[in-house]
A and B are shown apart, each in its own frame.
Chain A
Amino acid sequence: NAGVTQTPKFRILKIGQSMTLQCAQDMNHNYMYWYRQDPGMGLKLIYYSVGAGITDKGEVPNGYNVSRSTTEDFPLRLELAAPSQTSVYFCASTSELVNQPQHFGDGTRLSIL
């Protein structure tokens, strides 16, 4: 049972480059989330989705885009990488908001140089 799978685990980008962080879950969860975690800090919500075809902005969406074409996949796109986007990115999913925890991927450590 894979749960939430994030790829890649590590990546170094140059300023201005673009990339997509992949997230896939095999639990048929409707709700999916992208967070970033800066060193020593808590989680900040970037984008979330309540189902295929539906996405919405979180607390810090600038510089990012998402899509949700299937229930399983929720990729996060960085268009013009900036040093401020250096962070650890977590994808999470859940089947229900009140009674079920979020299941997290292992994270992607991204450095922008």
Chain B
Amino acid sequence: AQKITQTQPGMFVQEKEAVTLDCTYDTSDQSYGLFWYKQPSSGEMIFLIYQGSYDEQNATEGRYSLNFQKARKSANLVISASQLGDSAMYFCAMGGNQFYFGTGTSLTVIP
């Protein structure tokens, strides 16, 4: 069975600090993709960052980076220099022979 696990229901971070949101996955596929989405309180789902299973370099998109550890089957999202606007739900997802979402982590940035 394939699945995504996000073990942190809620996280707090001080403004301007970095924060890591955890994601582990389970798959028997050789080729798969890992994705992170942000869902602010307004409700829309915003795609943030992608990592392919064969990518050797960790993906980065501005203040977002994906810490990909293939042997540990983890794909943690790192947000650097947190801003108040980063307060939102964050979902990890995996695409392979099917698409799966984790249960999400609620991030609150404290001024």
Residue of B35, B43, B44, B98 touching A101 (CB-CB under 8 A): B35
Which residues of A lie under 8 Å from residue B101 when comparing CB positions?
35, 42-43
Per-residue contact bits, chain B 81-102, to A (CB 8 Å; 1 contact, 0 not): 0000000000101011111011
Q: Bound complex: CA of A82 vs CA of B37, how far in Å? A: 30
Q: A41-B103, A42-B104 are in contact. Are A97 and B44 (CB under 8 A)?
A: no
Q: A33-B99, A42-B91, A102-B93 are in contact. Are A107 and B43 (CB under 8 A)?
A: yes
Q: Is the CB of B43 within 8 A of A97?
A: no
Asked if B12 is at the interface (CB within 8 A of a chain A CB), the reply is no
Which residues of B lie under 8 Å from residue A42 when comparing CB positions?
91, 101-104
Asked if B11 is at the interface (CB within 8 A of a chain A CB), the reply is no
Query: Beyond A99-B95, A102-B99: 15 further Cβ-contacts under 8 Å?
Result: A41-B103, A42-B104, A88-B43, A90-B45, A92-B45, A97-B33, A98-B53, A98-B96, A99-B50, A101-B47, A101-B93, A102-B47, A104-B45, A106-B44, A107-B43
